[in-house]
């Protein structure tokens, strides 16, 4: 068989496609239920979406979550979780779970690591103990955790913010190692009930991104993760790189954009054919007093909300907006009352779930282009400090 011939994923069902572009609606099937795509996974770094219970997540519309391989390997350890029945039982979550590879954490804690072709030897930032993560060991850990969706180990560095400063030979070397590690990880897979994503890299070079996608596809992967984006590059640059990455991929397979991002990032990526996202941003923003609404984000620490009787978002039907005023929620935040971050996190997740639902509906009804134009006219992003911003940063990739 031609290695680049279409290979349908038995886990992914493509339901609708936009007639005006690559946006699409699908369903990703797992042993613990299905994910409607385009979909968003809140980040539960330590087997918990910080401050929120599984029942609250379900009430907000969450279908699946992401947990962190690196952190759970260090504490409590995958063996402990396996003995206690696996990650779903351990954390009381009945829906799909995706575990990342730990590659981003190894990059962000590079000062604790020694890298080689065999893998990465590193010291725990918790107690200084020695650990080793190879492509095979990465799969072994995720199999023990029992996640439904798992990811190969990769190696990368962010796209430099200064144009033309990247070393193409360095990016090429990281791409080649990521491909070799993907093949090793794939060969070590033992469980048939887990869907393995191969990671595409290539830095800020369109040709390398396209090559990485083609060669990852040629390895026979039936799901694709796109790494190394959302770390400071401009939205325009990201769009160009994303299009180069997606063009060679199998249509009938899920595409997962790792670590992104802000609502505008999600809309832009869905318009280019991305199916799945994860990010700490909605819960992190909530803990710092920033909330999302259909017209943009609000910093509730601002004094203008001190006596504001309105709900966070008059158009939102979540339980937080149905019961509480902006004034009350601001009071909780400035008083450091723990209920405040919980409620704002819940609202933000409900906003994200509704945003993805709106996109799915617009694609299914073949009006996505018009929906995007209307949404972009209304929505303005703002960071927790009150500065207008339209992009993501490395902060969105770290623990929730």
Residue 368, H or E segment: helix 368-378
Largest Cα separation within the chain, whole Å, is: 67
Of 148, 265, 275, 278, the catalytic one is 278
366 annotated active-site = no
Classify the C-alpha dihedral 261-263-267-270 as positive or negative.
positive
Q: Give the DSSP per-residue string, 328-351.
A: HHHHHHHTT-THHHHHHHHHHHHH
Residue 201: CB partners within 8 Å, gap ≥ 6? Answer: 154, 155, 156, 171, 174, 175, 178, 208, 209, 212, 227, 228
Q: Locate tokens 């709900």: which residue?
A: 311
278 is an active site residue = yes
Write the CB contacts of 353 (distance below 8 Å, at least 6 apart in sequence): 40, 60, 61, 62
Q: Which of 36, 100, 265, 313 is catalytic?
A: 100
Q: Note whether 286 and 341 are within 8 A (CB).
A: yes
Buried b (16+ CB within 10 A) or exposed e, 300-314: beeeebeebeebbbe
List residues with catalytic annotation.
100, 278
């Amino acid at each position: 068989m031609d290695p680049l011939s279409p290979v349908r994923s038995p886990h992914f069902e493509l339901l609708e496609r936009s007639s005006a572009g690559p946006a699409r609606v699908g369903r990703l099937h797992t042993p613990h239920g299905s994910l409607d795509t385009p979909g968003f996974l809140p980040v539960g770094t330590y087997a918990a979406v910080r401050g929120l219970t599984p029942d609250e997540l379900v009430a907000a519309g969450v279908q699946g979550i992401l947990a962190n391989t690196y952190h759970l390997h260090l504490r409590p350890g995958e063996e402990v979780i396996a003995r206690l029945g696996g990650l779903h039982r351990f954390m009381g979550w009945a829906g799909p779970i995706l575990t990342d590879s730990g590659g981003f954490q190894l990059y962000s804690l590079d000062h604790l690591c020694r890298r080689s072709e065999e893998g990465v030897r590193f010291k725990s930032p918790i107690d200084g103990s020695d650990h080793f993560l190879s492509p095979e060991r990465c799969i072994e850990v995720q199999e023990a955790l029992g996640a439904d969706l798992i990811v190969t180990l990769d190696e990368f560095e962010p796209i430099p913010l200064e144009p033309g400063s990247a070393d193409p030979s360095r990016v090429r070397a990281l791409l080649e190692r990521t491909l070799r590690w993907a093949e090793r990880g794939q060969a070590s897979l033992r469980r048939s009930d887990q869907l393995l994503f191969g990671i595409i890299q290539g830095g800020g070079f369109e040709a390398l991104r396209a090559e990485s996608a083609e060669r990852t596809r040629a390895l026979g992967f039936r799901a694709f993760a796109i790494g190394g984006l959302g770390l400071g590059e401009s939205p325009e640059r990201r769009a160009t790189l994303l299009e180069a990455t997606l063009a060679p991929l199998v249509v009938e397979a899920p595409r997962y954009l790792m670590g992104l991002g802000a609502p505008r990032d999600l809309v832009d990526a869905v318009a280019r054919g991305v199916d799945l996202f994860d990010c700490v941003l909605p819960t992190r923003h909530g803990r710092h007093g920033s909330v999302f609404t259909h017209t943009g984000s609000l910093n509730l620490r601002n004094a203008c909300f001190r006596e504001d009787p309105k709900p966070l978002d008059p158009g939102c039907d979540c339980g937080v907006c149905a019961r509480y005023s902006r004034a009350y929620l601001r009071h909780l935040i400035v008083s450091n009352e723990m209920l405040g971050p919980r409620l704002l996190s819940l609202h933000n997740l409900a906003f994200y779930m509704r945003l993805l639902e709106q996109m799915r509906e617009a694609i299914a009804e073949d009006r996505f282009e018009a929906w995007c134009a209307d949404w972009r006219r209304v929505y303005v992003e703002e960071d927790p400090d009150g500065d207008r911003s339209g992009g993501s940063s490395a902060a969105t990739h770290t623990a929730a």
